[in-house]
Amino acid sequence: MDDRLGGKGSERAANALRAALERGRFIEYHDVLFAHQPEEVVDGYTDDFLLRMASEVAGLRDKEFDAAVRGMKYRDFVTASERAYVADKVPGTPSVAVDGRLLDTRLWDGLFDAATLPMVIRTGGLVAAARSTS
């Protein structure tokens, strides 16, 4: 995750997000981290930063959460996720794959626009996935 830029911030952030998931606060914490993300060239996801941001999410911080963040409690999960990312030969983030097939990068913006999403689903090979979840 951090190979291109060095550091361990992405691993720490993934661990902290996994800890937030355990507490039922993943979405709220993700939104706070996304809104305050440090520059990519800085290893800004320090434990202190992650805990400071967690303080903005009601009911997230306590001794257990802080210990999970500082102690990398979910290191195995983070390592397994990184191995899967490398094994899938994902070119970078963001990337979108469905059934093991990467979505063409020219279609990514269309995923977030209600007017173009149906076209992306049709042309991006997402039709089968969309049908299977309906």
Residue-wise pLDDT for 76-132, tens only, equals 999 998 898 888 777 777 677 666 677 777 777 777 788 887 777 777 654 444 444
Structure confidence at residue 98 (pLDDT): 62
* pTM listed for this prediction: 0.71
Tell me the pLDDT tens digit for each residue of 38-58. 887 677 899 999 999 999 999
Look at residue 132 in the predicted model and tell me its pLDDT. 44
| CA distance to 54, 73, 86, 89, 105, per residue, from 41 (Å) | 22, 26, 21, 23, 23
User: What are the tens digits of pLDDT across the range 59-87?
Assistant: 999 999 999 999 999 999 999 988 988 88
Instruction: Give the per-residue pLDDT at 115.
Output: 86
